[in-house]
């Protein structure tokens, strides 16, 4: 069954087909900026599960279709499309931002009509990049919580202030790391009193498997994520070339795709590979809906981000998969990989340090693979899905005076006294 477009009847899930005047079921409207299946998209799915398990009727609004839609439906929520402007860095110039405001004013009318149709108790805005929903919730007299997954700590102060400004209209704010919270509240200190941090729940593989016993052949390196300059994928190519010159055999798998508009960067990566004679040393897997096969087949993962990361799901996924991970020593990545013996931190933007770390992992393989297996158990507890789901559901539903009892599976509401 396909989701319906705005103006049509909502597609119902099997939990709550209709709302009546006697119905005490709470409705949560989840606003999300895309239908992809990357880090923040998967985090949003876990939030949806938390709301459903708490007994809520959940409606997710997206700008359009994509691989995220069937995943939402499988979790017991319904989907409806509604246009919304999404903040991108390219829109933060004065002229582009003016155009965005004109589009937002037009879409605001549609969003307010959408709110009247759904009549949610709470609006959960899953990222600060769709501020229109925060404003619409305030104008529609609906309580709202914004989940901040962004932390542009290296951006100009004016840009950081502009990104934080819409959050003044949110009733509550959740950040995915203390780093994200710090960037946000340094821009607008007034937001500190309504902001809390909830670390991402990260689903792990069905079972963590210990890395292979020997790496006498090529060291299998994997990168999982968007192919973009800020993610530092080109640094990995430089590190592979350095290792090849040292006589250290490696193979790099790039698992992910470019964001629309960044096709030039993928072309640049292919050109670098050709110029360096790395055709046999690097492979492009493209986007995959599940990362676990790629991590299981790898020896070590690398998260080489050049710029700030609000958290670092890719680093946690590597630890959950029982693989050593090399991580840029910056921003939220420090929180994501902190406390793991199998995590190695390198200076951001330094390809030579990445090469050194990969060579060290190879030379100390016996201890690295054991440490990675032990770390996977720590990560499983630290980023427990059930813990995350309960925390987010509690934060959202508290806006309507509702407490969510701990436990697993669907539970009844209890109204706070």
DSSP reduced 3-state for 139: helix
The CATH class that applies to domain 219-382 reads alpha beta
Predicted model pTM:
0.78
Do residues 344 and 361 touch, judged by C-beta distance below 8 A?
yes
Q: Where are the domains of the chain?
A: 4-200+384-415, 219-382
**Structure tokens given for 215:** 């790496």
Structure confidence at residue 260 as a pLDDT band (50, 70, 90): confident
Q: For 141-169, how does the pLDDT look when each residue is reduced to its tens digit (9 = 90+)?
A: 999 999 998 887 777 888 788 889 899 99
Q: Per-residue pLDDT tens for 380-401?
A: 999 999 999 999 999 999 999 8
Q: Is a pLDDT exceeding 90 seen at residue 413?
A: no
| pLDDT computed for residue 101 by the predictor | 64
CA distance 353 to 313: 22
Asked whether the domain spanning 219-382 has the same topology as the one spanning 4-200+384-415, the reply is: yes
Average pLDDT, the chain: 88
Question: Average of pLDDT values for 40-50?
Answer: 93
Task: State the residue for tokens 């991580």.
Answer: 327
The encoded tokens of residue 399 equal: 């806006």
pLDDT at 7 over 80: no
Question: Which secondary structure element, helix H or strand E, spans residue 84, and what is its range?
Answer: none
Task: Say how far apart CA 153 and CA 338 lie, in whole Å.
Answer: 19
Q: What is the mean pLDDT of residues 54-78?
A: 96
Question: Nearest CA to 87 among 159, 179, 145, 28?
Answer: 159
pLDDT value, residue 29: 98
CB 179 within 8 Å of CB 149:
no
Rounded CA-CA distance 19/2 in Å is 21
The domain defined by 4-200+384-415 carries CATH number 3.40.50.300: no
Segment 76-95, tens digit of pLDDT: 999 999 988 777 655 555 55
Side-chain-side CA neighbours of residue 154 (13 Å) = 12
Q: Which residues contact 408 (CB under 8 A, 6 or more apart)?
A: 53, 386
């Amino acid at each position: 069954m396909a989701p319906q477009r705005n103006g049509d009847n909502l597609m119902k899930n099997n939990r709550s087909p209709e709302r009546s005047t006697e119905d005490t079921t709470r409705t949560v409207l989840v606003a999300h900026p895309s239908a992809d299946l990357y880090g923040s998209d998967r985090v949003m799915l876990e939030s949806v599960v938390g709301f459903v398990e708490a007994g809520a009727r959940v409606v997710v609004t997206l700008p359009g279709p994509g691989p995220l839609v069937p995943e939402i439906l499988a979790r017991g929520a319904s989907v409806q499309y509604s246009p919304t402007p999404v903040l991108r860095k390219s829109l933060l110039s004065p002229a582009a931002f003016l155009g965005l405001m004109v589009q937002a004013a037009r879409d605001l009318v549609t969003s307010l009509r959408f709110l009247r149709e759904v009549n949610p108790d709470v609006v959960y805005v899953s990222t600060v990049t769709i501020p229109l929903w925060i404003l619409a919730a305030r104008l529609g007299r609906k309580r709202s919580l914004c989940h901040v997954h962004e932390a542009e700590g290296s951006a100009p102060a004016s840009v950081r202030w502009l990104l934080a400004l819409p959050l003044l209209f949110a009733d509550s704010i959740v950040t995915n790391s203390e780093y994200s919270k710090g960037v946000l509240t340094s821009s607008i200190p007034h937001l500190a009193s309504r902001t809390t941090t909830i670390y991402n729940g990260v689903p792990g593989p069905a079972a963590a498997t210990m890395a292979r016993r020997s790496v006498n052949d090529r060291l299998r390196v994997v990168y999982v994520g968007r192919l973009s300059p800020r993610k530092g994928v080109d640094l990995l190519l430089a590190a592979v070339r350095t290792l090849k010159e040292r006589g250290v055999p490696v193979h790099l798998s790039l698992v992910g795709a470019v964001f629309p508009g960044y096709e030039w960067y993928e072309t640049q990566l292919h050109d670098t590979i050709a110029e360096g004679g790395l055709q046999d040393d690097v492979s492009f897997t493209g986007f995959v809906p599940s990362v676990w096969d790629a991590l299981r087949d790898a020896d070590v993962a690398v998260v080489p981000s050049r710029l700030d990361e609000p958290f670092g799901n890719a680093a946690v996924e590597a630890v959950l998969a029982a693989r050593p991970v090399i991580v840029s020593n910056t921003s939220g990545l420090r929180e994501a990989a902190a406390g793991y013996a199998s995590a190695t931190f390198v200076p951001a933007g330094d390809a030579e340090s990445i090469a050194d770390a990969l060579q060290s992992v190879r030379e100390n393989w016996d201890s690295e693979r054991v440490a990675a297996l032990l770390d996977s158990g720590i990560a499983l507890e630290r980023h427990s899905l059930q813990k995350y789901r309960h925390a987010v559901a509690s934060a959202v539903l508290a806006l309507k005076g509702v407490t969510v009892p701990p436990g697993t599976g669907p539970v009844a509401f209890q109204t706070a006294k």
